[in-house]
Amino acid sequence: QKEVEQNSGPLSVPEGAIASLNCTYSDRGSQSFFWYRQYSGKSPELIMSIYSNGDKEDGRFTAQLNKASQYVSLLIRDSQPSDSATYLCAVYYSNSGYALNFGKGTSLLVTP
Amino acid sequence: GAGVSQSPSNKVTEKGKDVELRCDPISGHTALYWYRQRLGQGLEFLIYFQGNSAPDKSGLPSDRFSAERTGESVSTLTIQRTQQEDSAVYLCASSKTRGGGGTYNEQFFGPGTRLTVL
């Protein structure tokens, strides 16, 4: 069983602060890691992908990957109320077919 | 370009009826996936298609569920003799190709079909 674990939250941060979302995974054979944002009643939207150890930045978003410790994180700088959503971590395991394994998501609330 | 499209957006049916859900992937994407998301729950993989290869049906919850795809085009997910536990949002995603590393397996989701079984 390939596990992807996330704290369900809610994580509450004030507007302008940095939001830090974490995800751990169970299998060292994982190759690709993704963060999706899902607004209430909407479908997941891909916001970041990361494949190598280290940091990857895209605008206000930074994804961090540490394969040795089996965790991946997402930092959102200058958080805005519009960032309030559920953030899903997804991991691709090369030995488990071709579907992504999703965590259950962390609910983020950015308060004005 | 156009994203993944799904129809209908909402479907209300009576227990025991059959339903058919449709997904049109992004043009040029060879891989197509179906997921289910029950209210307040995570995404549950159902089935995967890659070109003309045999589909990966390992996630289908019962034999009441089936799906078809012709080549690299539209896919339909059929649920026979629907049950109340089938109520969920059914999500379709597509990617450039299957598996592997890099951006080729980034999956992009359609808006989903919300199925309600009364």
Q: What is the pLDDT along chain B (118 residues), one digit of tens a residue?
A: 589 999 999 999 999 999 999 999 999 888 899 999 999 888 999 999 988 888 888 899 999 999 999 888 899 999 999 999 999 999 999 998 765 556 667 899 999 999 999 9
Contacts of A64 by beta carbon, 8 Å cutoff, 6+ apart: A50, A54, A55, A56, A72, A73, A74, A75
Pairing relation of β-strands A11-14 and A106-111? parallel
A101 contacts on B by Cβ (under 8 Å) = 45
Disruptive mutation site among B26, B43, B114 for chain A (greatest number of A CBs within 10 Å): B43
CB-CB under 8 Å, A42 with B111: yes
The alpha carbon of residue A91 is apart from the nearest alpha carbon of chain B, in Å, by 11
Tokens of B71: 């080549």
Tokens of A111: 């308060």
A42 contacts on B by Cβ (under 8 Å) = 111
CB-CB under 8 Å, B50 with A99: no
For residue B96, the 8-state DSSP code is S
Are the beta carbons of A33 and A72 closer than 8 angstroms?
yes
